[in-house]
Amino acid sequence: MFATQWVCRRCTLALTRSPIRPARPAHATKPLRRPLQRPLQQLQLARYAGTDSSNGAAAASNLPPALLQRARGMAAEHAELQAALADSFDPKAAKRLGELSRVATALAEWEAAQSSIAELVSMLSSPDSEADPELRALAHDELASTHAQVETLSTALSASLTPRDPFAELPCLVEIRPGPGGQEGRYFADAVFKMYRAYCARVGLRVNVVKYETLDGPEAQGGAGNEVPIAEAVLEIMDTGAYDMFRGEAGMHRVQRVPSTEAKGRTHTSAVAVWVLPSFPETLSTEMENDFNDPSSDFYIDPKEVRSEKMRAGGAGGQHVNKTESAIRLTHVPTGTVVSIQDSRSQHRNREDAWKLLRSRVAEQRREAREEAAASLRNTVLSRERITRGDKIRTYNYQQDRCTDHRSGVDVHNLPNVLEGGEMLDRLMASAKDWLVARDIRALVAEEEAKAAEAESGGKNGKKGRK
């Protein structure tokens, strides 16, 4: 019956439930939509059987009216601004226009698809088409493909409505630190570091090791392969948009394996924290330069609030000695953030790297604080699922040769490929990103619905008040 040897129970269920697509009914156009749409939905359910069913594509297949309304409102504003800008240029309006255009184009495409569906349906129902079977068949085919298109377009539309991450376009810094769990966590931190470095090399992203601080301990002894215990590593990914690619990687990465230092063969569980911070590209665009000096920007740091210290060699200095190290430590006094860098031979590079790291850390802290405030205002949908640094997001299990992403529920085998930054890591990262988008959409829907409900009850209260 099947080409495959076995099919898991859920897939079988999903497949058996979906009716085999009936031959195109030659009559009655009304029920036509259902048989076409249902198998699609159900197949999708089969695909996402492992995860929660309200995932991105499924949630977006029937676009909530609240979202549609919001999109229409934004598109109207877009048109208005465009008209205004035709007369006189205003940089603020132009910026807003750029933000809105994403929604406007997505909505336009979605509406075009909707109208073509309506047209096709009316064409099918018109008496003329009865006479021409060839035209009918064509219209049927067209309708099926348009329906499929609407699916993707509505996902795109809801995704475009979600607030765009302010740092999405930026390069990023990936900070890796061992969690609690002793030496084993430090060895695994090295494995994670090498995984991301190899991934970037494979995908073709430019990286720069900003900091690679090892702890005293024998090299290439613990862990698997040539792992070195590290205290902290910072990898800079210099391509634009890297923050968007890597933001799903932030969180606790858990490892379950038998450390090579373990004599009795017991499995240890330890964790590594990965933080993804936005960073600045080497050459600043003018817009970013403004950001840099704008006190309201997340990246703004008042130089007066930073205490910088240099490590000095003992003795007279100057011509008397030639030291090779030039460590610099920066302290951002209001937040207590401390950065110390001594990785490069160049004093100049160390200083720049330290500033970059400090700026990124402070910006991320500010954003987190802001999101925290926003999340506590919204209802529980978002706050429950927010990833904080404390939650584990992924498990690397060496015995079972498995890597699981806990948010998307995706399991992949072939762990060595993951740790080499291979295609399996791609899959995990893509699933995490999908999950993030789906989460944003859900939060948005919840927010819109809450707003609508509030408006409704507010209206009622208002009436009551008037009585």
Partner 1 sequence: MPRLPPALLRQAHSISPQLHALLPACRDLQSARSELRWIREHALSSSSGAGQPSNRHGNAAVARLVARRARGEPLQYVLGSQPFGALDLRCRPGVLIPRPETEAYVVHLASLLLRARKALGAAAADGRPLRVVDVCTGSGCIALLLYQLLHRGFPGAGSLRVLGLDVAPEAVALARENLERNVRRGALPATALEGGDVRFAQADLFSDGEWNSAVGQRGGEIAGVDVLVSNPPYISTQGFDRDTGRSVRNFEPRLALVPGAGLSQGTACAPEDVFYARLLKVSRVLRPRVMLFEVGDMEQARRVAQMATGLEQSEQWHVEIWRDDPDLDGNDGLREEVLNGRRIPVRGSGHGRSVFVHRVPELVT
- Binding range to partner 1, per CB under 8 A, among 157-165, 199-207, 245-253, 308-316: 308-316
- Looking from the CA of 354 toward its CB, the CA atoms found within 13 Å total 26
Size of the site for partner 1 (CB under 8 A): 29
Exactly one of 136, 349, 402, 433 binds partner 1 (CB under 8 A); which one? 349
Rounded least distance, CB 363 to partner 1, Å: 24
Burial classification of residue 164, based on how many CB atoms lie within 10 Å of its CB (0-12 exposed, 13-18 middle, 19 or more buried): middle
Exactly one of 10, 24, 310, 460 binds partner 1 (CB under 8 A); which one? 310
* Range 382-385, long-range pairs (CB < 8 A, 24+ positions): 382/439, 382/443, 382/446, 385/439
Give CA 288 to chain center in angstroms: 22
Rounded least distance, CB 450 to partner 1, Å: 51
Q: Does 318 bind partner 1 (CB under 8 A)?
A: yes
Antiparallel, parallel or unpaired: β 392-397 and 337-341: unpaired
Q: Does 342 bind partner 1 (CB under 8 A)?
A: yes
Antiparallel, parallel or unpaired: β 251-257 and 392-397: parallel
- Binding range to partner 1, per CB under 8 A, among 12-20, 44-52, 267-275, 315-323: 315-323
Rounded least distance, CB 312 to partner 1, Å: 6
Q: Does 347 bind partner 1 (CB under 8 A)?
A: yes
Exactly one of 22, 180, 265, 315 binds partner 1 (CB under 8 A); which one? 315
Q: What is the DSSP letter of 248?
A: G
- Binding range to partner 1, per CB under 8 A, among 6-14, 291-299, 339-347, 362-370: 339-347
Rounded least distance, CB 217 to partner 1, Å: 7
Nearer to partner 1, 115 or 346 (CB): 346
Rounded least distance, CB 335 to partner 1, Å: 20
Exactly one of 308, 340, 383, 417 binds partner 1 (CB under 8 A); which one? 308
Q: Does 343 bind partner 1 (CB under 8 A)?
A: yes
User: Nearest Cα to 356, choosing from 378, 337, 339, 373?
Assistant: 339
Give all strands of the β-sheet with 337-341 in edge-to-edge order. Answer: 306-310, 328-332, 337-341
Q: Is residue 51 helix, strand or coil?
A: coil
Q: What is the distance between the alpha carbons of residues 18 and 38, in angstroms, rounded to a whole number?
A: 7
Q: Does 304 bind partner 1 (CB under 8 A)?
A: no
Exactly one of 319, 336, 384, 463 binds partner 1 (CB under 8 A); which one? 319
Rounded least distance, CB 357 to partner 1, Å: 18
Rounded least distance, CB 447 to partner 1, Å: 48
Q: What is the distance between the alpha carbons of residues 269 and 274, in angstroms, rounded to a whole number?
A: 16
C-alpha distance from residue 378 to each of 407, 431, 437, 449, 455 (Å): 21, 25, 18, 11, 15
Q: Which two tokens stand for residue 206?
A: 């430019």
Which residues fall within 8 angstroms of residue 352, CB to CB, at 6 or more apart? none
C-alpha distance from residue 254 to each of 155, 257, 274, 378, 405 (Å): 32, 10, 11, 30, 10
Exactly one of 344, 397, 414, 417 binds partner 1 (CB under 8 A); which one? 344
Q: Does 346 bind partner 1 (CB under 8 A)?
A: yes
Nearer to partner 1, 15 or 327 (CB): 327
- Binding range to partner 1, per CB under 8 A, among 94-102, 337-345, 375-383, 440-448: 337-345
Exactly one of 8, 94, 284, 321 binds partner 1 (CB under 8 A); which one? 321
Which residues fall within 8 angstroms of residue 342, CB to CB, at 6 or more apart? 311, 325, 326, 327, 328, 350
- Binding range to partner 1, per CB under 8 A, among 13-21, 157-165, 310-318, 390-398: 310-318
- φ and ψ at residue 145, rounded to 5 degrees: -70, -35
Q: Does 261 bind partner 1 (CB under 8 A)?
A: no
User: Nearest Cα to 192, choosing from 337, 403, 430, 434?
Assistant: 403
- B/e letters for 87-104, b = 16+ CB within 10 Å, e = fewer, are eeeeeeeeeebeebbbbb
Nearer to partner 1, 108 or 201 (CB): 201
Rounded least distance, CB 112 to partner 1, Å: 49
- Binding range to partner 1, per CB under 8 A, among 1-9, 58-66, 246-254, 309-317: 309-317
Nearer to partner 1, 326 or 431 (CB): 326
Nearer to partner 1, 324 or 376 (CB): 324
Q: What is the distance between the alpha carbons of residues 336 and 330, in angstroms, rounded to a whole number?
A: 10
Rounded least distance, CB 278 to partner 1, Å: 24
Q: In the window 202-221, what residues touch partner 1 (CB under 8 A)?
A: 214, 216-219
Q: What is the distance between the alpha carbons of residues 389 and 385, in angstroms, rounded to a whole number?
A: 12
Residues interacting with partner 1, by CB under 8 A? Answer: 214, 216-219, 308-310, 312, 315-326, 342-349
